[in-house]
Amino acid sequence: MGITNSNKVISAERMDCDGSLKVTLALTAAPDIISNPTDIALVLDRSGSMAGTPLVNMKAGAKTFIDIISQSTGGQPAGEIGSGSHIGIVSFADTATQDTQMITSVDTLKDAVDALSAGGRTNHADAFSKATALFDPNSSNAKVIVLFTDGKTTAGAPPAPVAAAARAQGIIIYCIGLLGSDGVDVDALNDWATDPDATHVAVTPDASELEELFAELAANLSKPGATNIVIDETVASDFTITSILSPSVGSAAMLSSTSLRWSIPALGVTSSESATLEFFIRHVGQSAGTKLVNESITYSDTEGNVVDFPEPTVTVECDVVVTPEECPVPVDLTVGGCSDSVVMDMGDVYLESLGRILQLDVTIKHVCPNKRVALAVLLTEVGQNGVEYPRGTKTMTIPAHHFPTCRDVLVKCIKFVIPEDLDVSGSTQSMCNPRSFKVRFIAHTIDSSFRCCGASITL
């Protein structure tokens, strides 16, 4: 089945305007046998030509095969074939024997393999017949025969029609051949096995390679979930990637301030396997609202799995900004594209007095929703003798905000004009003297639910 789960989650549903959050990408892959339970008849040649080293190596290979299938199906600690799959053992010489039924016990299967002894001729037809009989015709599981032999047919009926009948029932046949003393017929193996031969038939002249052949076949049956995975993630333009943690599987690299690549060589090759990648993003936009975290995310792998990731959104809350005093109205000026210089009459600007402008920002903490605020700003100048002189008082109404919870309210651009003829610094310079000031703020909520007895108040 390949990729069995894909997910993308964020660590918070809401964030401040310049806040950060964690993004987690997750994948789970599993061998095909987990999502498609399979019943496997392991059919083993125990004819006389198998005596000695070939039998020993065949047993090792068969037990390795059982172990890999158990691992691939998520077998239990007690040693079970998992995920609804089963293995049955059939052995053959003059005739074939069902050494086990379709079972899940790894120990019982291995005991049946260990109990085999070599002797007799080679009856492939009966082997296919007894193996076919192991399968439950009412089961929806996939059905596979894995036949191992080291020689030509020397007993029983012709095996080709029996193998063809098994294939006609939807049974997939794999053949492993050892070029033993009897000389295995490779053409016959190709005829018996499911097409194409290249992926269903394996032959070796060396008994020491049997374990490897059984292992490769078991891996082929279980099939990797995904290999050569590449995930390219690009976050939305209102965000920037600040850091990437090392993924649990594979490697990740930042391609730009808004994009990254996560590469995984293989996932879910022998058993169900998960991988996660965590990275952090910061909001750099200037506006509030509900925003998509990612602009795009693409996935590819060798197996061609199609993967879709969720598209999480986050609510961005920027500070409440109040600008009680507007900036001066600008005068428009247009300069021609080919002009080296230009002289424009911009009108009159009246110089009322020399001086300075103080522009103040202040944050009013914990303003509750639907409450207007009265704000007073008191400015004084400190003379050389430490005496304070008044320089201005401003009062203003801060509009109510309507967020669901209390918020800090930023009041920007409170301006005071400080003429130079009021300089009390004691300096003899006419302009640009250092001057010291003190600012005091008074703020309180205007709106209240309190009412004096008998009073009638209109808001």
Query: Average pLDDT for residues 426-431, to the nearest whole number?
Result: 64
Phi, psi of 252 (to 5 degrees): -135, 145
**Which of 127-141, 282-296, 311-325 is least confident?**
311-325
Please, which pLDDT band fits residue 380 given cuts at 50, 70 and 90? very high
Query: Average pLDDT for residues 257-281, to the nearest whole number?
Result: 92
Helices 106-114 and 53-72, packing angle to 10 deg: 170
Please, which pLDDT band fits residue 457 given cuts at 50, 70 and 90? low
Predicted pLDDT of residue 102: 97
Give the DSSP letter string of 74-128: T--TTTB--TT-EEEEEEESSSEEE-S-SB-BHHHHHHHHHT----S---HHHHH
Q: Is the pLDDT of residue 367 over 80?
A: yes
Q: Is the pLDDT of residue 272 over 60?
A: yes
Residue at token pair 């430490």: 386
| Interatomic CA distance for residues 69 and 184, integer angstroms | 27
DSSP state of 244: E
| Interatomic CA distance for residues 389 and 436, integer angstroms | 11
Predicted pLDDT of residue 183: 73
Give how far the C-alpha of residue 286 lies from the chain's centroid of Cα atoms, to the nearest Å. Answer: 28
Please, which pLDDT band fits residue 361 given cuts at 50, 70 and 90? very high
List, in order of start, the domains of the chain with CATH numbers: 2-30+227-317 (2.60.40.1280), 33-222 (3.40.50.410), 322-326+352-445 (2.60.40.3930)
Predicted pLDDT of residue 439: 96
Mean pLDDT of the chain: 89
Helix (H, G, I), strand (E, B) or coil at 148: strand
